[in-house]
Structure 1
Amino acid sequence: MSLPAVLRKDFEDAVRSYSLLASVLLFALFAALIAALQFFPTLYVDDGSTAPATTLALLNSMRQPAVFFVPLFGLMVAYDTIVGERESGSIRLLLSLPNSRLEAVLGKFLGRTGVVAAAVLAGYAVAGGIALVTYDSFDGAVFTLFTLLTLVYGAVYVAIATGFSAGMRSRLGAFVGAGGLYFLFIIGWDIALLLLQLAIYGQDIPEAGLPDWFNFVGMLNPSTAFMHAARTVIPAYREITFYPEASAAYAQGWVGFPILAAWILLPLAFGYLRFQRFEI
């Protein structure tokens, strides 16, 4: 057994438990609802005419669900992937075969990323199909780019959950650790930035705007990094998102990509190093 075998076994376990099928159906129904929201209720623009249903309108509808629900799904399918096997004792069988602990961690990560990818692709395919048939205009290339970025964003949270699953001694510890980061990124990060801003500048923002280093701290949140990455490869995405322009190279939109990569690699490294120390 090797890395591909661990990956395949983990993905097949998800298929046998029906979690993959349930996830695909749930995402497909949810994406269909998001796509249909362009027509219910009817939206109007300033001159009283009906707002056109376009790719950008669809991405605007999908923006918040992607930020909130894709990471939540990634955490839920992966937080117990290793620690669950440790608690049940089946991890001994996995490691008694010619598998290293690194292969176990990477295989679990890739397998659960495959589950998330299958669900997201199914859901986005439904949304894209509805848009292609019923919208006033639909740009398949733009929608494909957004879909690929969403897969990377989902992989970030699978990596976080897998890292905690490998690095904690109990399911509860893995759930609290991964869930705590989710709430930090989704809710707590903006609160922390606001408190930092108030502590440094009070209620008066400098006329020149906040410094680039402050904007960079905001970008360290993977949700914000995802938005910046989308703005970089999909210029029209700037019309539905707003971030201050930065002059420093480290605060440019493309930096969102290495930040997302770091949030995949660092949790996996943390989990692997902790997993190496555990007695099985």
Structure 2
Amino acid sequence: MGSANMNRASRRRHHRRLHQRYIVRRVVAAISLVLLVVSVVASAGASVAQVTAAPEEGGAASANIDFTKALRMAFANGQIEEPEPLHPKSDEDRRKEAAQREVDALAAPMSAEQRKEIYDKAKQTAEQSGAQATKMTYCVATNGDVGDKAAFANTVDRVLNDSRGWPRAGVVFQQVDDGCDVTVTLAAPEKLPTYSTYCSSEYSCRVGADVIINKKRWDGAVDHWFQEGGTLASYRTMVINHEVGHALGHLDNEQPCGGAGQAAPLMQEQSMFLNGCTINQWPLDGELWSTFAGSPA
């Protein structure tokens, strides 16, 4: 019995020694790994510094080197190759990003100074048009679950007062809170028929002093617009100019397509058909007239 107890005690001491040796080996391995990483990083930094640092007086390299700047210089000089991105962007990704930047640029917030600058440029264009410069005031509204009203309002202002648009016909546009000549509304599709039985839930519409932009088209345009190389930003520009064009006295399809490959008239119903014309978001020279009699610009 005593011999058995001694054997068990001996085995326990043996197991403790084995466990202690295992712990020591793990600690040594961890310390070695840390030292190796530090050594590699220091070596890489020294290599970049030697490549990029200008020698100081006496031939000694500068000790105060901006490591990030040194890396950038080495990449620029071709001394170090930049690694390939893990997931390089495709042409389609780049196209989508560019299209989104266009949309964001139209909707971006504006200061009062920026808004005045846009208006003044539009007024200058209107005064140089040869027509009597007039001002149309407009309110901005939403109807239904359509998202950010401010972004919509900024887009409308930028589009209507763009010097490529209706200011070429002598009209400038000023947003006001009430007492406006027209109200430009971003409306949920199901709200369109509530303005008139002639309005469809599929397209935008104009009824009297109401210019109603269909949220479905605002978000998705139409397939053939994209197939012809258009973007969502250019479609939004077209639909705003087209519907406000009705408030200026223009009719749908009043001017036919000039022929295959030519720019479609703005007032052509481009959301429905192109008739061989190319997409276009600005009034053509033949559309630069207005029956709107507003106040002086």
Q: Give TM-score, length-normalised by structure 2.
A: 0.27
Structure with the larger strand share? 2
Structure index of larger Rg:
2
